[in-house]
A and B are shown apart, each in its own frame.
Chain A
């Protein structure tokens, strides 16, 4: 297990490094000059030169790269070209919105999807089993921003029970206030996400229900509930957990769109702003942190699977299944 953990940490660091290199280079392949975002029509050549100097786009590419990498080594994500403020603290403050948003959505989706998916599989022959399956299919096809707009129309504009967007100015000082602001965004993400989760839970459960070992157990006199409890759920959980990892990472990324619909000051809106302004340190910083988040989630999902399934625990490399 220790060797496995070490291997995973090395994998994480190497992946992060490669991602950051790729990110740096691809951003620089794009046309245009980040200095332009500081200028207005009518700027003098002198101002242009000053702007290029300010953002460092007058330096040769290797020099820019070494300086970005050097700072990264000391966990410094650099300073924004546009605001001239450090990127790290701003990301931290944005995470105070994005992380709760992601986790709450994820939890809600799981809480909904597990029983619904199970029922959809166990009662697949009945009309409501089919209905649940059909609804989840529909949910997968619906884009999150559309769901968000629909919820705003109903709950904010018509019923006036929840805010249409925004986040308290004092963040989490009043948790009830903050949670109220997050209610609709969380439901939006959870709805879309649970739809696809239900599909996975349903098919994993169907696999287990049709398995030989379950039939054997029942033949040996175990009740259905007992058999399911002792072996079925556990076996169904393994593929589901792996999917959960991917889903959680997807939620994190999907928050980008939803944050913009609900005017939430999270990581996603920071990224969009950074992109609009060609603010490389902001783009790099946000994507670096997002990549880290995705990798860590993957690692945790892998670990959870391994703990649940003794067959995986035995392998040393962590690659074999």
Chain B
């Protein structure tokens, strides 16, 4: 009896540790995309309805500068906290807490005027000191904000009066205003932001029951247009099946992002539900280590890209959903163009390029593959595709955690699979130190020039050129762009379709 109990204790530990060894994160960073909100089918709706939202992304904590993850962006961005600017679901940047702003002729000084009559949930009025505090919080030493590096050029922030903020930059940055749309304006008196909040948004935090749900209640003192519902509750699930069951049993009204393609059939054929096919900005990449042989040779990278039938891969995983992109830029970025023909699927071409590059008999490499979907599936597919041109792939399955250390930090890999979720992230190809080691001085120059542009048109033109170059060099193989699928009850309208960077504005959702 006792020995059995002891072995049971041992087994507990072993099971847990085995789970730990196999455990993985759900990827990293934020998802994103652009588009428009779903249109309202009818004018009538129930203003007293509470919207029940189902999601797989529970916040880790409530502070997005403390590694809160994509869940806190989804629930809080725009709903609880607001920025000086708002990034619409269509990807356009609009004024929000900033009434207006001016840029000095040299492009180095930004002067923002704040909107009047804005108060925080605690009742404190919004002042320039709060804005300064909020930006500095992102820049702070212990900040885990994913946006930190985009503000590296901020030299000083001053507050001439209560409604004016002046930011001086070390170098010109055309993306500065866009980047500010990700910075939450937080009351500088706020305490304990990991479990509570003090924002200016239309909702305030109701209750957060960890592991289960988070509710947002109306904020009576909101400065802007009040929400078209009485509040929202995010219900969190760890399993896509459980989430879909909740939608099927009306326990939730809407699913922010459907991650289980197989489950779509039960909703798409049912008039009680609407399956929305939006644009995401999540790209699945076969990233080569461009520093090491044989991937330091662009011809080899092009050959590998041409040998893989991306269309077939996308269809087998997502059916009719999702898009082929042929480069790092999704259709919702301002510098998008269709580059899918630069390295077409063409096995003969691939063979020719391989022999030109001196690998007529092929070669072998190890593919570091994150252990969560869809990477293992994609890896197996790539392995069989490349076998056709004599390339032998060894699949090495690793956890998200190992990926971060081995691939991202130590650059110890030949090729890897990874999803890159943010919008406007083609600029990483201008950084030769980034994990994939793509180093083309021309591209680096273009990316830097683009950031120094005087106009957004100029910026777009330069980044288009950069994007064409990375596609021509096959810097990576951009396998496909994920769809952004929002499934909702037919009684719902006004919800965001594209969920840029995981944001999910809930205040325009109507329930009839």
Contact = CB atoms under 8 A, between A and B. Distances in A.
A complexed with B: yes
A270 B210 CA distance: 9
A166 B207 CA distance: 16
Given A32-B405, A249-B5, A287-B16, A85 B212 contact: no
B2 A253 contact: no
A302 B1 CA distance: 8
Given A36-B404, A85-B194, A156-B249, A271 B16 contact: yes
Contact of B239 (A41, A160, A260): A260
Interface in A65-111: 82-85, 90, 93-94
Given A30-B20, A39-B67, A301 B1 contact: yes
Contacts of A46: 141
Interface in B328-363: none
Interface stretch (A123-131, A208-216, A290-298): A290-298
B72 to A, nearest CB: 11
A180 interface: no
Given A273-B238, A275-B23, A294 B67 contact: no
A154 to B, nearest CB: 12
Interface residues of B, number: 69
Nearest to B409: A48
A277 B212 contact: no
A184 to B, nearest CB: 11
Given A164-B246, A166-B251, A276-B23, A287 B12 contact: yes
Given A48-B409, A54-B142, A263 B28 contact: no
Contacts of B400: 36
Contacts of A271: 16, 19
Nearest to B244: A164
Contacts of B28: 39-41
Contact of B67 (A51, A269, A291, A302): A51
A23 B207 CA distance: 33
A250 interface: yes
Nearest to A153: B245
Given A149-B241, A164-B251, A275 B246 contact: no
A263 B25 contact: no
Interface in A254-271: 260-263, 265-266, 269-271
Contact of B2 (A82, A164, A298): A298
Interface residues of A, number: 78
Contacts, number: 206
A168 to B, nearest CB: 9
B245 A156 contact: yes
B209 A169 contact: yes
A33 B404 contact: yes
Interface string A116-142: 000000000000000000000000000
A165 interface: yes
A171 B207 CA distance: 12
Nearest to B146: A40
A295 to B, nearest CB: 7
A215 B16 CA distance: 48
B20 A253 contact: no
B420 interface: yes
A225 interface: no
A160 B60 CA distance: 33
B12 A290 contact: yes
Contact of A160 (B5, B17, B207, B249): B249
A270 B23 CA distance: 13
B404 A39 contact: yes
B13 A83 contact: no
B209 to A, nearest CB: 6
A62 interface: no
B237 interface: yes
Nearest to B152: A44
A80 to B, nearest CB: 9
Contacts of A53: 142
Contacts of B404: 32-33, 36, 39
Contacts of A94: 211
A242 B8 CA distance: 13
Contacts of A30: 17, 20-21
A291 B15 CA distance: 12
A82 B5 contact: no
A246 B212 CA distance: 30
A31 B401 contact: yes
Nearest to A245: B5
Contact of A19 (B9, B66, B194): B9
A166 B212 contact: yes
A98 to B, nearest CB: 11
B156 interface: no
B39 interface: no
7 contacts: A15-B9, A32-B399, A32-B402, A90-B210, A166-B235, A260-B239, A290-B12
Given A50-B144, A163-B249, 14 more contacts: A26-B17, A32-B402, A32-B404, A33-B401, A37-B67, A41-B29, A42-B146, A42-B422, A50-B142, A83-B60, A164-B242, A164-B248, A242-B4, A261-B239
- What 10 A-B pairs are tightest by C-beta distance, nearest first? A32-B401, A265-B211, A38-B67, A298-B5, A40-B29, A164-B245, A265-B212, A275-B23, A36-B404, A263-B242
